[in-house]
Structures are given as C-alpha cells and as structure tokens.
C-alpha cells in the first residue's frame, strides 16, 4: 500500500518567481485534434454505456422470467412445441453466445414482434415516438421559456421575495406526483372550466383525416393547412405539456439560480458594476452568457427526462406515445415490446445525456484540458 505523499514530499524550493504563464495560442490543427480526441472518447463512452444497457435488458429478458420458453408458448404447449420454441430462441446455446446473438439482433433493429400488435417492435416504436416527441418538445420549450427567466430573477435577487417565491414554486414542482397533477389538471381545466380538451391527441371527429407525414400532428396539420385540426391538437396538447413543463421549470429554475449566484459572486461582476454598468446590464450582459453553457446540460437532461417522465403523464392523458406503449405492453406481458421500448428510450436518454456533456466540453473553453 503506497503512503500518500503529503507527509514524505519535501517542501518545494523557493526558486525565482516564475514568469507569468503565457501559453502560445494552440494551432488550429492541435485544436482540431483535441476535439477529435474528445469526440473519440465520447463515442467510446456512448458505445460502452449502450453495451451496458443491452446487458441489463438481456438479463431482464433472459433470466428473470422463471422460464422464457413458457412465457412465449404458454403452459399448455406440448413437449414438441416447447422444444422447438426452445431451439428457435437459441436457449440451448451458452449464455455469452446468446448475448451476442441478442446484441446482433438489436444492432440490426430487430427487437422481435410485439404480441399485442403482432408488428415488429421497432415499427411500433417508430409509430408511437412522434407523439412523445411532440409532447416532450413543447414541454421543454415551456420549461425553458419560464424557468430560465425565473431562475435568473431568483439568483439576482437572492434572499428577497422573488427568490423565496420561486424556491417555493420549485419545491412544489419537485414534490408533485406528476400523474396526480395531471388528474387534478384534467378535473379543473377540462371538467370544470372547459378551457382545454380531454385525453388523447385529437377529438374522435378529427382522427384519421390527416395524412401522417412526420407523425407530429402540429406540423402535419400546419403543412396541410388544416388549421381546425391544428387548434384541436393544440387544445389536447397544452395541458399535458404545461404539466410536464412545470416539472422542468422547477428543475431549470433551480439550476439557473445556482449558476447565476455563482457567476454574480465573481470579480468581473464587481468590476463591471464599478465601471458603471447597471445591475440589470451586468446580469444579462455579463453573467448570463456565462451560465448559458452549463445550462445546455440542464436543459438536455430535462428533455431526456421527459422521455421517461412522460410514462405517467401519457398514461393519465391517454397519450399514444412511447411511455404508454411500454406500460400497455407491460400489462399484457409483452416482454419483447417492453424490453425493446426500454432499450430505445434508454438509448435516446443516454444519447441526449452524453451529447450534452460533450457539447458542454466543446463549448466551454475552460473545460478543454490542455
């Protein structure tokens, strides 16, 4: 066991004062090489995390059901059917071999067939994804549009009433069960006030009129010039999006506040104030650009989080998205669909997460290690 060198290390000799560090500006080639190296590390960690994800879904699918063959053929199957299914599923091979077969299938986009829809799982996922995408995007926009100004206001007025108000609003957002908030929202705004439309993406009247191009109804209807459908879809979308947006707002405002406080305590802020710039000018002109970079990660995390937070919201609002697809498959013991969905949501989540980390490093010069 090595002894930490805090004891043994001799004190540094007091030499002549070092010249002020003046590193030559890195050449463009070197800078490009650094970005390339970071990109390499990024792709490697992406691949590794994805491999880990497939390991987990493989383990869940292969080991946790008492007998995966029985789960497929049912317990009334004859011996021959059972044996054939076992061979078909490759369960006579060794575990690592099974894993590689699974990995190969996953990489080629083959998640098996869904038992309920009897379509390939990948096809189902592509069909359900646009709804989740639509919801998550609008929710993130709401969260960013409200959360960032609120967080800046809280950070700039630390300890005063805007700060306390925003802290309480944020704490409430953190503590609300999203499915309950959805139900209460439906009760108040749909049931009592009638301001918004009920569950689903469109009224029954409008369904199946629109030719799906992107699958995102707001875009499709606008492209087709069907403004009636557009506003109908908007009425359905706004409540779930606002509720998810509130959850994002709580998180974004809190992080923005703490970044802002951090920046406002820096010396450049004092310098700018002494020079005579107004406080508002310092906050938005000097401090805000500095918090933008870490905010990328926060917004990305919130966005990625919706792909899972949406599971509950989609259930409450009967929103035909990924989360609802996964939960419905779950209750019909459709393991292929559940694991395929988990894998895809996980992959998107990991992708967004790590991309933000990467962007963050590329965008912030201070984080580029020499």
Structure tokens at 227: 């403004």
Residue that the structure tokens 């709580």 belong to: 250
Bridge partners, 304 (sequence order): none
Distance CA 174, CA 137 (A): 20
The CB-of-354 to another protein minimum distance in angstroms stands at 7
Considering the complex, state which of residue 58 and residue 230 has its C-beta at the smaller distance from another protein. 58
Considering the complex, state which of residue 39 and residue 171 has its C-beta at the smaller distance from another protein. 171
Distance CA 208, CA 284 (A): 47
Show contacts with another protein in window 37-56 (CB under 8 A): 45, 48-49, 52-53, 56
N- to C-terminal Cα separation, the chain? 31
Q: Where are the alpha helices (DSSP H) in the chain?
A: 28-63, 68-73, 79-88, 95-107, 121-156, 161-175, 178-185, 217-224, 227-264, 267-274, 279-281, 288-316, 322-331, 335-363
The CB-of-222 to another protein minimum distance in angstroms stands at 30
Q: Does 242 bind another protein (CB under 8 A)?
A: no
Considering the complex, state which of residue 32 and residue 171 has its C-beta at the smaller distance from another protein. 171
Which of 335, 356, 358, 361 is in the footprint of another protein by CB under 8 A? Answer: 335
C-alpha 347, offset from chain centre: 10
Question: Phi and psi (nearest 5°) for 212?
Answer: -70, 120
Considering the complex, state which of residue 190 and residue 288 has its C-beta at the smaller distance from another protein. 190
Which of 112, 147, 305, 321 is in the footprint of another protein by CB under 8 A? Answer: 305
Q: Does 60 bind another protein (CB under 8 A)?
A: yes
- Exposure class string for 196-225: b at 16+ Cβ within 10 A, else e: bbebebbeeebeeebeeeeebbbebbeeee
The CB-of-142 to another protein minimum distance in angstroms stands at 20
The CB-of-190 to another protein minimum distance in angstroms stands at 8
| Residues in Cβ contact with 344 at an 8 Å cutoff, skipping those fewer than 6 apart | 125, 322
Contact indicator for 222, 138 with CB cutoff of 8 Å: no
CA–CA distance from 362 to each of 33, 36, 48, 88, 370 (Å)? Answer: 12, 10, 21, 47, 13
Considering the complex, state which of residue 179 and residue 206 has its C-beta at the smaller distance from another protein. 179
The CB-of-219 to another protein minimum distance in angstroms stands at 26
Q: Does 172 bind another protein (CB under 8 A)?
A: yes
Which of 42, 179, 206, 234 is in the footprint of another protein by CB under 8 A? Answer: 179
Structure tokens at 303: 């966005």
Show contacts with another protein in window 310-329 (CB under 8 A): 311-312, 315-316, 326-327
Q: Does 106 bind another protein (CB under 8 A)?
A: no
Show contacts with another protein in window 259-288 (CB under 8 A): none
**From residue 128 to residue 147, what is the string marking binding to another protein with x (rule CB under 8 A)?**
--------------------
Contact indicator for 282, 156 with CB cutoff of 8 Å: no
Options 13-21, 74-82, 111-119, 177-185: segment touching another protein (CB under 8 A): 177-185
Chain residues binding another protein by CB under 8 A are 1, 3-4, 6-7, 45, 48-49, 52-53, 56-57, 60-61, 64-65, 171-172, 174-180, 183-184, 186-187, 190-191, 304-305, 307-309, 311-312, 315-316, 326-327, 330-331, 335, 338-339, 341-342, 345-346, 349-350, 353-354
């Amino acid at each position: 066991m090595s002894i930490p060198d805090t004891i043994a290390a001799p004190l540094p000799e007091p030499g002549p004062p070092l010249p002020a560090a003046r590193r030559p500006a890195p050449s463009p080639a070197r800078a490009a090489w650094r970005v390339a190296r970071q990109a390499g590390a990024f792709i490697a960690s992406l691949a590794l995390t994805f491999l880990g994800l497939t390991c987990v879904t493989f383990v869940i699918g292969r080991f946790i059901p008492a007998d995966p063959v029985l789960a497929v053929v049912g317990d009334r199957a004859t011996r021959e059917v059972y044996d054939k299914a076992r061979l078909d599923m490759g369960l006579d091979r060794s575990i690592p071999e099974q894993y590689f077969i699974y990995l190969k299938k996953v990489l080629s986009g083959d998640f098996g067939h869904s038992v309920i829809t009897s379509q390939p799982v990948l096809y189902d996922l592509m069909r359900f994804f646009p709804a989740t995408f639509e919801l998550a995007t609008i929710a993130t926009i709401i969260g960013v549009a409200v959360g960032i100004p609120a967080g800046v206001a809280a950070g700039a007025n630390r300890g005063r009433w805007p700060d306390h108000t925003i802290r309480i609003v944020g704490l409430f957002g953190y503590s609300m069960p999203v499915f309950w908030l959805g139900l209460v929202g439906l009760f108040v705004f749909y049931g009592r006030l009638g301001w918004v439309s009920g569950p689903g993406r469109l009224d029954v009247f409008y369904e199946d009129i629109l030719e799906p191009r992107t699958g995102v109804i707001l875009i499709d209807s606008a492209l087709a010039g069907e403004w009636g459908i557009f506003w109908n879809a908007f009425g359905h979308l706004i409540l779930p999006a606002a509720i998810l947006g509130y959850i994002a707002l709580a998180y974004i405002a809190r992080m923005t506040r703490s970044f802002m406080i951090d920046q406002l305590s820096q010396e450049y802020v004092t310098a700018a104030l002494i020079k005579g710039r107004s406080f508002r000018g310092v906050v938005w002109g000097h401090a805000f650009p500095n918090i933008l970079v870490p905010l990328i990660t926060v917004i990305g995390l919130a966005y990625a989080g919706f792909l899972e937070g949406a599971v509950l919201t989609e259930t409450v609002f009967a929103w035909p998205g990924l989360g609802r697809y996964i939960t419905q498959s779950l209750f019909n013991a459709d393991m292929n669909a559940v694991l395929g969905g988990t894998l895809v949501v996980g992959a998107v989540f990991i992708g967004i997460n790590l991309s933000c980390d990467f962007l963050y490093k590329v965008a912030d010069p201070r984080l580029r290690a020499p």
